[in-house]
Chains A and B, each alone.
Chain A
Amino acid sequence: MRFILVDTIHELDPGKRIKASKTLPANEELFRDHFPGFSVVPGVLLTEMMAQAAGRCLDAEGTHPGRAMLGKINGASFREWVKPDQEIMLHATITQNRPAFATADCFAEVVGKKVCSAELFFVFAPHEQFASDYQDEILNAYWKIHPDMQPKRTR
């Protein structure tokens, strides 16, 4: 399993809000253990999905000194079981956006029903720490469809 937990970005206002989605297929190996006979998407992965969506919203802006990295999880709650093959809609609104940190109110929903939420805190890891040819394929796919939405500084 790759650790790209966003399939598609549907709506994006860089640095402000994002709507994205992820579906975990039933043949993912993790469902053999989580749990036998009762497959559910782990809450930790739901949290990571929200974090990856919110992080991409911040990275899309291109104004921070590095890539957004999850620093803290505040008040996460999980209200409903999420099953394999269900499309999970991920929503994040950036509530604080400063050079050194950012916060985001996030939630996920399935078929219009909220399944989890969390307030996430982000710090920024310097670009130099990543592979020089590192590209975000999910963001790039969005920019390809919406080239006019891409901030010039990130092109």
Chain B
Amino acid sequence: MTQIEALQWIAKVFEASPDQLTPDTHRDNVPAWDSLGVLTLMASLDSDLGIVLTDDDVQAVKTVGDILDVIRRNGKLT
């Protein structure tokens, strides 16, 4: 997927508008990125993209850009 598609996918996961998200957006500024949101992200990465996050990955993910990096590292971002 392209970065724009990835941002749209992330917005869907967090029930946000895609135009509210940029790579610099911090999780504190995404209302649905709470503890349930973290688990939803893990489940969606697994079911939609086949990416299984480790606990270390989860702790490191603090911005939208961090999620894009996870997707990129797993070869799903063009």
Using a CB–CB distance below 8 Å, which chain A residues touch chain B?
71-72, 95-96, 98, 100-101, 103, 121, 123
> Complex formed: what's the CA distance from A101 to B39 in Å?
7
Contact present for A72 and B47 (CB under 8 Å): no
Chain A residues closer than 8 Å to B43, beta-carbon distance:
96, 98, 101, 103, 121
> Complex formed: what's the CA distance from A56 to B43 in Å?
20
Chain A binding surface SS class? strand
Chain B binding surface SS class? helix
Interface size of B in residues (CB-CB distance below 8 Å): 7
Which of A98, A103, A123 is the one whose CB lies under 8 Å from B36? A123
16 pairs, A vs B, C-beta closer than 8 Å: A71-B36, A71-B39, A72-B40, A95-B47, A96-B43, A96-B46, A98-B42, A98-B43, A98-B46, A100-B39, A101-B39, A101-B42, A101-B43, A103-B43, A121-B40, A121-B43
List which B24-65 residues lie within 8 A (CB) of chain A: 36, 39-40, 42-43, 46-47
Chain B residues closer than 8 Å to A95, beta-carbon distance:
47
Contact present for A96 and B47 (CB under 8 Å): yes
> Complex formed: what's the CA distance from A72 to B40 in Å?
9
- Whole-angstrom distance from the CB of B8 to the nearest CB of chain A? 17
Q: Which residue in chain B gives the minimum CB-CB distance to A95?
A: B47
- Whole-angstrom distance from the CB of A140 to the nearest CB of chain B? 29
> Complex formed: what's the CA distance from A96 to B42 in Å?
11
Per CB-CB distance, the 6 closest pairs between chain A and chain B, nearest first, are A101-B39, A71-B36, A96-B43, A103-B43, A100-B39, A101-B43
